[in-house]
Structure 1
Amino acid sequence: MKFRGKITDIACLNHFTTFSRILKSAVCLNEADPLCSGVVTTISKLTKTCVLRLTPDHLFFILPGKVTNGGVGMWCQLLQANFFQEYQMEGVTSEVQEICLEVSPEPWSRALKTVQSAKSVKLKLTRKHCACLTVAAELPTLSSVGRVVTHDVPVDVIPRRLWQEFQEVGVPDFDVSVYLPPLKTMKSVVDRMKNLSNFLVMEANLNGDMNLKIQTDLVSVTTHFKDLGNPAGGDVSSQDGGPSQSRDPEVMAEVTVDIRKLQQFLMGQQVNPSKALCNIVHQNVVHLVLLHEDVSLQYFIPAVA
């Protein structure tokens, strides 16, 4: 097994650093503390580790939450050619060109802080006292002597027998698919609603309407979004099928979700997507999809029983 990558383009460095922030917050949100300041993410109440899956063409950041058991899941896919100017990897065997690593988010994030001011960054799978993902950042200097900061981030190599747990999550046939409103606007609404209830009803229909609702014994609040549009089947990734053509376009499909999990998605999105979609399986799951030219991020929020 071998992995080595190098990033020299500043824009690519900054873009790649986004994902280290996502990973760091996965740790913070497992603590009993409130939201960690400065760095926020789409991920809430997940394990303190994530899976980094490497293939010749892609990198995947995976948080394999058990949606059927109330956990949040995330699948983030990056095309390596859009980030790395040099990229070499050899899988576990010549026939299986993949590597799966379990990474602790917090040290990964600390190591990649040097990325923001670095001239280049090298990532390499090494063997020190244990398996490590070594991050070597070449920093700018006023002298002719180069300055390199190296961090060794311990990782666990995941055996092949467990790989089936880290495959892309299949999405059941959804009842409604709708484009999301501007995410900043949606975030502002959800932030206010969070002060009123721990739960939020998301509902949408095939006319491109979406409602966000809070209902308690003391208050009922609804925010309406109109004419959002409904994606064609080709616009939506990773589903087995789309809404039934016989479905009444006025009828809402709805899911009650933990409002904090939705808030974390909205606070943590840093992908600047070209498309943002919401698929709803009635009273079952919300499947949020952010699409960008070099990033695909899927986020699953289960219904609250």
Structure 2
Amino acid sequence: MKFRAMMQDPEYMREFLYIIQTLSKLAKTCILKISMDKVYFVANEESGSTAPLVWVEIDPKLYFSEYTMQGVDDDQNSHIVLNVPTLHLGTALSLLRNNPCYCKLKLTNLQFPCLTVDVDATSKSSDKSRRATHHVPVDVVPRCDWSNYAVPTKPICKLVLNVPSNRLIRGLIDKIKNLSPTIIFYATTNGEMNLVAETDMATITTRYQNLELRAMNASEDDKKKEQIEASCSVDCKKTALFFSALQIPSTELSCGIVDDRLIHLEVNIREGIAIHSILPAVCV
């Protein structure tokens, strides 16, 4: 079992750091699933936690100038599955904030399995380079347990809308969480999305209009209607935690709704790299 990868683009290295920092704010550990064509990070704290289910999908060709892996088997579907402490990994990568020259990741075996992070960066105050090596302890997940750590699948949502800057939504939901335990996402095919919070004293509605309809998967009966609607009520604290954890500059954010079942949030960093989150419905 071998894994070795190297990044050399400063912008992409910082982007990678922001992804890990986002995960570290959501969960103490995450599952790192490595294959030849994809790298996944899955953060999902134990049941009952306020943290939402979040996973990141990465096309390794977009980040790594060198990428080598050999999994448990020699076939094309070979994988390596690791349980990684997100905070330790974020600390190991923190030097990437400066002017990084390269970052190497390697699966090593000291007295215990480690993900070795080797970073070379130039100091802001001088032209001297600084090199740091960290050995992040990891747990190798045995193949017999892989079924317990399957990568979530992207749900088929009734309506998917591209929504405005996550900074605006984050500030709004951060205020609502102190007023209501739940928040209702309501969307229509006319490009309208409403965020509704109900309290004993009032109902608070924030309306976004003229949004881009990204996808629609309506039933035959719904297609006969003049306007198709979808809505779902989710936990406000989980929603607020997801938005507050995002460390990546706002790019493209979409919101998908499966009626009364779930909300699917997707942050498209760029082609081939996205952060996903599923917020399950709650009873109101």
Q: 1:298 matched to which residue of 2?
A: 276
Partners of 1:116 and 1:186 in 2: CA distance: 26
Q: Give the distance between the partners of 2:53 and 2:267, measured in 1 at CA.
A: 14
| Contact residue 35 and residue 69 of structure 2 kept, 8 A | yes
Higher mean displacement: 270-279 or 52-61: 270-279
Structure 1 residues 140 and 71, CA, compared in 2 at 3 Å: closer, same or farther?
closer
Please state which structure has a larger fraction of its residues in strand: 2
Q: Secondary structure at the match of 1:19?
A: helix
Contact 1:7 1:120 in 2 (8 A): yes
So what's the TM-score if we normalise by structure 1? 0.81
Matched with 2:151 is: 168
Q: Which runs of 5 or more structure 2 residues have no equivalent in the other structure?
A: none
What is the CA–CA distance in structure 2 between the aligned matches of 1:158 and 1:298, rounded to whole Å?
23
The yes-or-no answer on 1:106 pairing with 2:91 is: no
Q: Determine the structure 1 residue equivalent to 2:17.
A: 17
The amino acid of 2:171's aligned partner reads S
What amino acid does structure 1 have at the position aligned with 2:102?
Answer: S
State the Cα distance separating 1:68 from its structure 2 match.
11
1:195 to 168, 178, 185: 178
Compute the displacement of 1:101 (Å). Answer: 0.4
Q: Taking structure 1 as reference, are residues 108 and 123 closer, same or farther at Cα in structure 2, changes over 3 Å only?
A: same
Alignment of 1:128-143 (within 5 A): 128-140=110-122
Please provide the CA RMSD for this pair: 2.6
Structure 2 residue aligned with 1:125: 107
**Aligned-pair CA distance for 1:135:** 0.7
Q: Distance in 1 between matches of 2:200 and 2:113?
A: 54
Closer/same/farther in 2, CA of residues 161 and 64 from structure 1, 3 Å limit? farther
Partner amino acid, structure 1, of 2:219:
S
Code of the residue aligned with 2:7 in structure 1: it is I
Q: Kindly provide the amino acid, as one letter, of the partner of residue 168 in structure 2.
A: T
Q: Residues 68 and 280 from structure 1, CA distance in 2 versus in 1: closer, same or farther, beyond 3 angstroms?
A: farther
Superposition TM-score, scaled by structure 2 size: 0.87
Question: 1:7 and 2:7 equivalent?
Answer: yes
The CA deviation string for residues 222-246 of structure 1, in whole angstroms up to 9 with x for no partner, is 111112132246xxxxxxxx22253
Residues 1-305 of structure 1 aligned to structure 2 (within 5 Å): 1-27=1-27, 48-64=28-44, 72-95=52-75, 96-117=77-98, 118-140=100-122, 147-170=130-153, 173-232=156-215, 242-247=217-222, 248-250=225-227, 252-272=229-249, 275-291=252-268, 292-305=270-283
Q: What per-residue deviation string (whole Å, max 9, x for no partner) do you get for residues 174-222 of structure 1?
A: 3332222332222232222223222211111222211111111112111
Paired residue secondary structure (2:138) = strand
Which amino acid counterpart does residue 29 of structure 2 have in structure 1? T
Tell me the distance in 2 between the aligned counterparts of 1:10 and 1:162.
36
Q: Deviation at 1:102?
A: 0.4
Measured against aligned partners, the alpha-carbon deviations of 1:234-285 in whole angstroms (never above 9, x if no partner) come to: xxxxxxxx22253135353221111121112222334456542211111111
- Identity over aligned pairs, percent: 29
Paired AA for residue 254 in structure 1: S
Kindly tell me: are residues 185 and 128 of structure 1, through their superposed partners in 2, closer, same or farther at Cα, counting changes over 3 Å? same
Q: CA deviation at 1:136?
A: 1.2
Is the CA contact 2:165–2:250 (under 8 Å) kept in the aligned structure 1? no
Give the direction of change, closer, same or farther, for the CA distance of 1:302–1:69 in structure 2 (3 Å limit). Answer: farther
Structure 1 unaligned segments of length 5 or more: list them. 28-47, 234-241
8 Å Cα contact 1:76/1:297 also seen in 2: yes
- Would you say the 8 A contact 2:5–2:106 is kept in 1? yes
Q: Quick check: 2:26–2:245 contact (8 Å CA) kept in 1?
A: no
Matched residues in 2 for 1:186 and 1:143: separation?
A: 40
